[in-house]
Amino acid sequence: MIELRLPSRLGYERVAMDAAASLASRMGFETDRVAALKTAVSEAVTNAIEHGNQHNEAMKVVVLLTVRGDELIVSVTDQGHKAIDAAYVNRVPQISEAMKRDDKGGWGIWLIQELMDEVEFTTAPSGGNQVRMVIHLER
Amino acid sequence: MHNGKTSIELVVPSILGYEIVARGAVATFAHFIGFDQARIEDLKTAVSEACINAIEHGNQLQPDLPVHITSSYDGHRFTVEVSDTGTKPFGTITEPKTIEEKLAGAASLRGMGIMLMAALADEFLVEPSAAPGNTVRLIWYQCEVAQP
What DSSP string describes B14-45?
S-TTHHHHHHHHHHHHHHHHT--HHHHHHHHH
The domain in which residue B126 lies consists of 6-141
Residue B148 lies in a domain: no
Scanning A67-96 for CB atoms below 8 A from B yields: none
| A5 to B8: CB separation less than 8 angstroms, yes or no | yes
Interface predicted TM-score (ipTM) of this complex, two decimals: 0.82
Mean pLDDT, chain B cut into blocks of 10 residues (148 residues total): 81 96 96 92 96 93 96 94 82 63 74 85 85 90 57
Distance from CA of B10 to the nearest CA of A (A): 4
Residue B1 lies in a domain: no
* Domain total in chain B: 1
The backbone torsions φ and ψ at residue A10, rounded to the nearest 5 degrees and listed phi first, read -60, 140
- Predicted local distance difference test score (pLDDT) of residue B147: 45
Fold classification of A2-136 is Heat Shock Protein 90 (3.30.565)
- Predicted local distance difference test score (pLDDT) of residue B143: 60
- Predicted local distance difference test score (pLDDT) of residue A22: 96
Alpha helices (H) along chain B: 18-33, 37-53, 99-103, 113-120
Q: Which residues of B lie closer than 8 Å to A, measured between beta carbons?
A: 4, 6-13, 17-18, 20-21, 24-25, 27-29, 32
- Predicted local distance difference test score (pLDDT) of residue B88: 67
- Predicted local distance difference test score (pLDDT) of residue A1: 94
Q: How confident is the prediction for chain A on average, in pLDDT? A: 89
CATH code of B40's domain: 3.30.565.10
Exposed (0-12), middle (13-18) or buried (19+): which is A135, by Cβ within 10 Å? buried
Residue B61 lies in a domain: yes
Q: Which of B6, B10, B18 minimises the CB distance to A4?
A: B10
Distance from CA of A125 to the nearest CA of B (A): 20
Residue B94 lies in a domain: yes
- Predicted local distance difference test score (pLDDT) of residue B146: 44
Question: Residue A91: pLDDT above 90?
Answer: no
The residues spanned by each domain of chain A are 2-136
